[in-house]
Amino acid sequence: MTSSSRVRLAIVAAAVTVGLTGCGVAGTSFHPGVAADIDGDTVTTGHVDELVYDYCEAVRDQLSQDGSAVPLGYLRSGVVGQLTLAAAAEQLAEEQGVEPTQEYASALAELRAQTAALTEAQRDAVLEINGSGVYVQAVELAVGRKLLSEEGQRSPDDQTAGQRGVDELNAWLEEHDVEINPEYGIEIVDGQPVDADTQLAVGVGDTARTAALQEPDQQYAKSLPASQRCG
Protein backbone atom coordinates (compact mmCIF):
# COMPACT_ATOMS: atom_id res chain seq x y z
CA MET A 1 0.00 0.00 0.00
CA THR A 2 1.14 3.57 -0.55
CA SER A 3 1.75 5.94 2.36
CA SER A 4 -1.53 7.72 1.60
CA SER A 5 -3.59 4.54 1.76
CA ARG A 6 -1.93 2.66 4.60
CA VAL A 7 -4.24 1.23 7.23
CA ARG A 8 -4.23 3.35 10.38
CA LEU A 9 -3.96 1.60 13.72
CA ALA A 10 -7.21 3.10 14.97
CA ILE A 11 -7.47 1.05 18.14
CA VAL A 12 -4.16 2.46 19.36
CA ALA A 13 -4.57 6.00 18.04
CA ALA A 14 -8.05 6.41 19.52
CA ALA A 15 -8.58 7.16 23.19
CA VAL A 16 -8.94 3.54 24.24
CA THR A 17 -7.25 3.66 27.63
CA VAL A 18 -6.43 0.05 28.33
CA GLY A 19 -3.48 -1.79 29.78
CA LEU A 20 -1.61 -4.99 28.99
CA THR A 21 -3.48 -8.03 30.21
CA GLY A 22 -3.01 -11.75 30.46
CA CYS A 23 -4.12 -12.90 33.92
CA GLY A 24 -6.52 -15.77 34.40
CA VAL A 25 -10.16 -15.49 35.40
CA ALA A 26 -10.47 -18.23 37.99
CA GLY A 27 -13.32 -17.56 40.38
CA THR A 28 -15.28 -15.34 38.00
CA SER A 29 -18.66 -16.09 36.45
CA PHE A 30 -17.34 -16.07 32.89
CA HIS A 31 -17.51 -19.27 30.90
CA PRO A 32 -14.27 -20.33 29.23
CA GLY A 33 -13.82 -18.66 25.88
CA VAL A 34 -16.11 -15.66 26.55
CA ALA A 35 -14.52 -12.20 26.27
CA ALA A 36 -17.71 -10.19 26.76
CA ASP A 37 -21.42 -10.75 27.31
CA ILE A 38 -23.70 -8.04 26.00
CA ASP A 39 -27.15 -8.85 27.33
CA GLY A 40 -26.96 -12.40 25.99
CA ASP A 41 -24.83 -11.73 22.92
CA THR A 42 -21.26 -12.91 23.37
CA VAL A 43 -17.88 -11.96 22.00
CA THR A 44 -15.58 -14.97 22.16
CA THR A 45 -11.92 -14.93 23.08
CA GLY A 46 -11.23 -16.97 19.97
CA HIS A 47 -12.76 -14.32 17.74
CA VAL A 48 -10.81 -11.59 19.49
CA ASP A 49 -7.52 -13.46 19.13
CA GLU A 50 -8.20 -14.16 15.46
CA LEU A 51 -9.04 -10.50 14.78
CA VAL A 52 -5.95 -9.27 16.61
CA TYR A 53 -3.69 -11.67 14.70
CA ASP A 54 -5.10 -10.70 11.29
CA TYR A 55 -5.14 -7.00 12.17
CA CYS A 56 -1.55 -7.15 13.31
CA GLU A 57 -0.56 -8.78 10.04
CA ALA A 58 -2.44 -6.06 8.15
CA VAL A 59 -0.52 -3.22 9.80
CA ARG A 60 2.86 -4.94 10.17
CA ASP A 61 4.48 -3.00 7.32
CA GLN A 62 3.16 0.29 8.65
CA LEU A 63 4.52 -0.38 12.12
CA SER A 64 7.88 -1.43 10.68
CA GLN A 65 8.12 1.79 8.70
CA ASP A 66 7.12 3.84 11.74
CA GLY A 67 9.52 1.93 13.97
CA SER A 68 6.78 1.35 16.54
CA ALA A 69 5.30 -1.62 18.37
CA VAL A 70 2.12 -2.39 20.33
CA PRO A 71 1.74 -5.04 23.06
CA LEU A 72 -0.79 -7.61 21.88
CA GLY A 73 -2.53 -7.47 25.26
CA TYR A 74 -3.14 -3.76 24.79
CA LEU A 75 -4.59 -4.39 21.36
CA ARG A 76 -6.78 -7.26 22.59
CA SER A 77 -8.27 -5.07 25.31
CA GLY A 78 -9.03 -2.29 22.84
CA VAL A 79 -10.67 -4.72 20.45
CA VAL A 80 -12.86 -6.23 23.18
CA GLY A 81 -13.98 -2.78 24.27
CA GLN A 82 -14.83 -1.69 20.74
CA LEU A 83 -16.69 -4.90 19.90
CA THR A 84 -18.66 -4.64 23.15
CA LEU A 85 -19.80 -1.13 22.28
CA ALA A 86 -20.67 -2.16 18.73
CA ALA A 87 -22.77 -5.08 19.97
CA ALA A 88 -24.61 -2.80 22.39
CA ALA A 89 -25.21 -0.26 19.63
CA GLU A 90 -26.55 -3.00 17.35
CA GLN A 91 -29.08 -4.07 19.97
CA LEU A 92 -30.09 -0.44 20.57
CA ALA A 93 -30.58 0.07 16.83
CA GLU A 94 -32.82 -3.00 16.66
CA GLU A 95 -34.89 -1.80 19.60
CA GLN A 96 -35.29 1.66 18.08
CA GLY A 97 -35.91 0.33 14.57
CA VAL A 98 -33.14 2.36 12.92
CA GLU A 99 -30.23 1.68 10.61
CA PRO A 100 -26.79 3.32 10.95
CA THR A 101 -26.48 6.53 8.97
CA GLN A 102 -24.84 6.70 5.55
CA GLU A 103 -21.53 7.71 7.13
CA TYR A 104 -21.00 4.10 8.15
CA ALA A 105 -21.41 2.73 4.62
CA SER A 106 -19.14 5.46 3.27
CA ALA A 107 -16.44 4.66 5.83
CA LEU A 108 -16.57 0.95 5.00
CA ALA A 109 -16.30 1.70 1.29
CA GLU A 110 -13.22 3.84 1.94
CA LEU A 111 -11.67 1.13 4.10
CA ARG A 112 -12.28 -1.49 1.43
CA ALA A 113 -10.51 0.68 -1.12
CA GLN A 114 -7.57 1.26 1.23
CA THR A 115 -7.20 -2.44 2.04
CA ALA A 116 -7.53 -3.90 -1.45
CA ALA A 117 -3.98 -5.29 -1.32
CA LEU A 118 -4.55 -7.24 1.91
CA THR A 119 -5.67 -10.83 2.25
CA GLU A 120 -9.38 -11.40 2.82
CA ALA A 121 -8.85 -12.24 6.50
CA GLN A 122 -6.72 -9.14 7.07
CA ARG A 123 -9.20 -6.92 5.25
CA ASP A 124 -12.12 -8.33 7.25
CA ALA A 125 -10.24 -7.67 10.50
CA VAL A 126 -9.56 -4.05 9.56
CA LEU A 127 -13.18 -3.53 8.50
CA GLU A 128 -14.53 -5.00 11.73
CA ILE A 129 -12.13 -3.24 14.08
CA ASN A 130 -11.76 0.16 12.41
CA GLY A 131 -15.39 0.12 11.34
CA SER A 132 -16.76 -0.60 14.81
CA GLY A 133 -16.21 2.91 16.11
CA VAL A 134 -17.80 4.45 13.04
CA TYR A 135 -20.73 2.05 13.40
CA VAL A 136 -21.37 3.09 17.00
CA GLN A 137 -21.33 6.78 16.07
CA ALA A 138 -23.60 6.18 13.07
CA VAL A 139 -26.12 4.32 15.23
CA GLU A 140 -26.01 7.05 17.88
CA LEU A 141 -26.71 9.67 15.22
CA ALA A 142 -29.61 7.67 13.75
CA VAL A 143 -31.13 7.02 17.18
CA GLY A 144 -30.71 10.65 18.18
CA ARG A 145 -32.42 11.91 15.04
CA LYS A 146 -35.35 9.57 15.57
CA LEU A 147 -35.85 10.42 19.24
CA LEU A 148 -35.54 14.17 18.70
CA SER A 149 -38.01 13.97 15.83
CA GLU A 150 -40.46 12.15 18.09
CA GLU A 151 -39.92 14.88 20.66
CA GLY A 152 -40.83 17.57 18.14
CA GLN A 153 -37.43 18.60 16.79
CA ARG A 154 -37.77 18.03 13.07
CA SER A 155 -34.32 19.12 11.85
CA PRO A 156 -31.76 18.80 14.64
CA ASP A 157 -28.10 19.39 13.76
CA ASP A 158 -25.76 16.42 13.82
CA GLN A 159 -24.06 17.45 17.05
CA THR A 160 -27.35 17.66 18.91
CA ALA A 161 -28.64 14.41 17.42
CA GLY A 162 -25.36 12.63 18.06
CA GLN A 163 -25.30 13.66 21.70
CA ARG A 164 -28.90 12.52 22.12
CA GLY A 165 -27.87 9.16 20.70
CA VAL A 166 -24.85 8.98 23.02
CA ASP A 167 -27.12 9.59 26.00
CA GLU A 168 -29.51 6.88 24.82
CA LEU A 169 -26.72 4.33 24.34
CA ASN A 170 -25.35 5.12 27.80
CA ALA A 171 -28.83 4.62 29.24
CA TRP A 172 -29.11 1.31 27.39
CA LEU A 173 -25.77 0.18 28.83
CA GLU A 174 -26.96 1.06 32.33
CA GLU A 175 -30.24 -0.81 31.92
CA HIS A 176 -28.85 -4.03 30.42
CA ASP A 177 -26.37 -6.65 31.53
CA VAL A 178 -23.06 -5.85 29.88
CA GLU A 179 -20.00 -7.62 31.26
CA ILE A 180 -16.41 -7.76 30.04
CA ASN A 181 -14.13 -10.57 31.13
CA PRO A 182 -11.83 -9.21 33.89
CA GLU A 183 -8.91 -10.70 31.97
CA TYR A 184 -9.00 -7.66 29.69
CA GLY A 185 -8.85 -5.07 32.46
CA ILE A 186 -11.45 -2.69 31.03
CA GLU A 187 -15.04 -1.61 31.48
CA ILE A 188 -17.43 0.71 29.66
CA VAL A 189 -17.83 4.11 31.32
CA ASP A 190 -19.83 6.91 29.70
CA GLY A 191 -19.83 5.02 26.43
CA GLN A 192 -16.06 4.51 26.31
CA PRO A 193 -13.77 1.57 27.16
CA VAL A 194 -11.55 2.61 30.08
CA ASP A 195 -8.97 0.95 32.31
CA ALA A 196 -11.03 -0.69 35.05
CA ASP A 197 -8.16 -2.16 37.09
CA THR A 198 -10.16 -5.38 37.15
CA GLN A 199 -7.30 -7.78 36.62
CA LEU A 200 -6.97 -10.55 39.15
CA ALA A 201 -3.26 -10.11 39.78
CA VAL A 202 -1.44 -6.98 40.91
CA GLY A 203 1.69 -6.15 38.94
CA VAL A 204 4.84 -5.34 40.91
CA GLY A 205 8.15 -3.98 39.73
CA ASP A 206 9.01 -1.53 36.97
CA THR A 207 8.13 -3.90 34.11
CA ALA A 208 4.67 -4.69 35.45
CA ARG A 209 3.91 -1.01 36.08
CA THR A 210 5.05 -0.14 32.57
CA ALA A 211 2.73 -2.82 31.19
CA ALA A 212 -0.24 -1.18 32.90
CA LEU A 213 0.26 2.32 31.50
CA GLN A 214 -2.68 3.81 29.65
CA GLU A 215 -0.64 4.31 26.47
CA PRO A 216 1.73 1.63 25.17
CA ASP A 217 5.31 2.45 26.17
CA GLN A 218 7.51 1.91 23.14
CA GLN A 219 10.60 0.78 25.04
CA TYR A 220 8.55 -1.79 26.92
CA ALA A 221 6.60 -2.90 23.83
CA LYS A 222 9.77 -3.46 21.81
CA SER A 223 11.28 -5.49 24.65
CA LEU A 224 8.50 -8.07 24.46
CA PRO A 225 8.97 -11.35 22.57
CA ALA A 226 7.67 -11.24 19.02
CA SER A 227 4.78 -13.48 20.04
CA GLN A 228 3.55 -10.82 22.51
CA ARG A 229 3.72 -7.69 20.40
CA CYS A 230 2.56 -6.25 17.11
CA GLY A 231 5.42 -4.64 15.23
Q: Quick one: CA torsion of 134, 59, 9, 18, rounded to 10 degrees?
A: 110
Tell me, letter by letter, the H, E, C secondary structure of 79-95.
HHHHHHHHHHHHHHHHH
Q: Are 178 and 39 in contact (CB under 8 A)?
A: yes
Is the pTM higher than 0.85? The answer reads no
Q: Tell me what pLDDT residue 189 has.
A: 84
Q: How far apart are CA 176 and CA 88, in angstroms?
A: 9
Q: Tell me what pLDDT residue 59 has.
A: 84
Counting every residue, how long is the chain? 231
Q: How far apart are CA 141 and CA 89, in angstroms?
A: 11
Where do the structural domains in the chain lie, given as residue ranges?
10-230
The letter for the amino acid at 94 is E
Q: What are phi and psi of 225, to 5 degrees?
A: -60, 155
Q: Tell me what pLDDT residue 38 has.
A: 95
Q: Tell me what pLDDT residue 67 has.
A: 77
How far is Cα of residue 6 from the mean position of the Cα atoms in its chain? 19
Q: Are 108 and 135 in contact (CB under 8 A)?
A: no
Tell me, letter by letter, the H, E, C secondary structure of the chain.
CCCCCCCCCHHHHCCCECCCCCCCCCCCCCCCCEEEEECCEEEEHHHHHHHHHHHHHHHHHHHHHHCCCEEHHHHHHHHHHHHHHHHHHHHHHHHHCCCCCHHHHHHHHHHHHHCCCCCHHHHHHHHHHHHHHHHHHHHHHHHHHHHHHHCCCCCCCHHHHHHHHHHHHHHHHHHCCEEECHHHCEEEECCEEEECCCCCCCCCHHHHHHHCCCCCCHHHHHHCCHHHEEC
pLDDT in tens, the chain (231 residues): 433 334 444 444 432 333 333 333 333 467 789 999 999 999 999 999 999 999 988 888 887 777 777 878 888 888 999 999 999 999 999 999 999 999 999 999 999 998 999 999 999 999 999 899 999 999 999 999 999 999 998 888 999 999 999 999 999 999 999 999 998 888 888 888 877 764 443 333 333 323 333 456 676 667 676 767 787
